[in-house]
Amino acid sequence: MNNKIITIIVAVLSIIGIALFVMTLGVDVEDAEAISGVVSPLVTYSLILLGISAAVAFLGSVFSLLKNPAALKKAGLGLVALVVVFGIAYMLANSDQVIDAKDEIIAAAGSQVSKLTSTGILFSGVLMLVAGAFFIIDLVKGLIKS
């Protein structure tokens, strides 16, 4: 019963999306106002579906964690570890100026944007190193077992 309801809901949402997409096909490409008028409902519909999907995924995760306290503890420890790594990255980050590919200054030296940009780069690098280390450890474990 539950599977039939989900199938019907997905079918209705798909038909609405297809109808909105088909409406965009007959519009003159040169008429910007007509394109905006036809594409706007499709974009709004897509954003609504994205929001609903994100909310369902988030709520499903939260309910799953609440049902399983051991998983909640592991998730909490993981979040604490991420906060610690972020704190270390923030302390080590410099606040030099940030420039783009055209050598234009995006953030001046000493600004909070510059500090957070450097923090994000360091944070990503540390997470990449940790992920690479776990990948290599898992690869070695697999080679030893076989």
Give the pLDDT of the chain (146 residues) as one tens digit per residue: 688 999 999 999 999 999 999 988 888 878 888 888 888 999 999 999 999 999 999 999 989 988 988 888 898 999 999 999 999 999 998 887 778 888 888 777 778 888 898 999 999 999 999 999 999 999 999 999 87
Q: Are residues 85 and 57 in the same domain?
A: no
Q: Are residues 143 and 73 in the same domain?
A: yes
Q: Of 67, 87, 110, which marks where a domain is finished?
A: 67
Q: Are residues 60 and 90 in the same domain?
A: no
Q: Are residues 61 and 96 in the same domain?
A: no
Q: Are residues 75 and 40 in the same domain?
A: no
Q: Are residues 33 and 84 in the same domain?
A: no
CA triplet 42, 12, 33: central angle to 5 degrees?
15
Instruction: Residue 90: name the closest of 63, 122, 68 by CA.
Output: 122
Q: Are residues 10 and 22 in the same domain?
A: yes
What size, in residues, is the chain? 146
What domain range includes position 30?
Answer: 1-67
Burial class (CB in 10 A: 0-12, 13-18, 19+), 104: exposed
Residue type, 86: F
Q: Are residues 77 and 140 in the same domain?
A: yes
Q: Are residues 127 and 77 in the same domain?
A: yes
Q: Of 51, 67, 83, which marks where a domain is finished?
A: 67
Say how many C-beta atoms besides its own lie within 10 A of residue 42's C-beta: 16
Q: Are residues 73 and 145 in the same domain?
A: yes
Q: Are residues 42 and 22 in the same domain?
A: yes
- Domain total of the chain: 2
Q: Are residues 49 and 95 in the same domain?
A: no
- pTM across the whole model: 0.59
